[in-house]
Amino acid sequence: MISIRKAGRVLNRLLAVIGLITVLVISTPIVSWWAQAYAGPIEQPKGDILILLSAANDDNGGISYSSYWRARQALFAWQTGGFKKIVICGDGGTGILNFLTAYGIPREAFVTEDRSASTRENAIETARLVQGLPGKKVLLTSDFHMYRALRVFRKVGIESTPMVVPDVLQSAEHWNGRFGAFEIMLTESAKIAYYAVRGWI
With vertex at residue 97, the alpha carbon angle to CA 93 and CA 101, rounded to the nearest 5 degrees, is 175
Amino acid at 116: S
CATH code for position 46 = 3.40.50.620
With vertex at residue 123, the alpha carbon angle to CA 107 and CA 48, rounded to the nearest 5 degrees, is 45
- Which of 93, 152, 139 is CA-nearest to residue 117? 93
Residue 71 has pLDDT above 80, yes or no: yes
Model confidence at 65, in pLDDT bands (50, 70, 90)? confident
pLDDT tens digits for range 7-60 = 667 766 766 666 656 656 566 788 999 999 999 999 999 999 999 999 877 656
- Which of 86, 82, 104 is CA-nearest to residue 50? 86
Torsion, Cα of 31, 51, 135, 160 (10° steps)? 30
Separation between Cα atoms, residue 122 and residue 142, nearest integer Å: 14
Separation between Cα atoms, residue 22 and residue 1, nearest integer Å: 31
pTM of the model: 0.86
Q: Which domain holds residue 23?
A: 1-201
C-alpha distances in Å from residue 153, one per residue of 59, 67, 198 = 28, 19, 15
β partners of residue 161: 138
* Total number of domains in the chain: 1
pLDDT at 25: 59
Model confidence at 101, in pLDDT bands (50, 70, 90)? very high
Higher-confidence position of 19 and 66: 66
